[in-house]
Amino acid sequence: MELEQLADYFFKYAREQGNPYDRYPVGTEVDEFGAPYIEISEAGKLAIVAKDRGEECLRKETTSPEVLTKWVYEIFNKE
């Protein structure tokens, strides 16, 4: 799975929620100041991760791009 494929899932899901995006809100670059990023393992595991000053403060893992998409959307659309 590539980041571009995950972005496609995200764009579709966001449109279905009535909140279209023009760019994917996360990347794969590690940010040590709390911003979430995506990890994609060779074994097919997908994760959304956040670190704050080197300490992991968020990790959610799945093998489903649909599940990861919902998590990413929820993080960037908290009520």
Domain regions of the chain by residue span: 3-76
Q: Is the pLDDT of residue 79 over 80?
A: no
Lowest-confidence range among 14-18, 39-43, 51-55, 67-71?
51-55
Q: Is the pLDDT of residue 43 over 80?
A: yes
In sequence order, what are the residues at sequence separation of 6 or more whose Cβ sits closer than 8 angstroms to the Cβ of residue 10?
Answer: 21, 24, 25, 69, 72, 73
Q: Is the pLDDT of residue 13 over 90?
A: yes
Gap between the Cα atoms of 56 and 36, Å rounded = 10
Over residues 50-61, the pLDDT tens digits come to 999 889 999 999
- 56-63: long-range contacts (C-beta < 8 A, 24 or more apart)? none
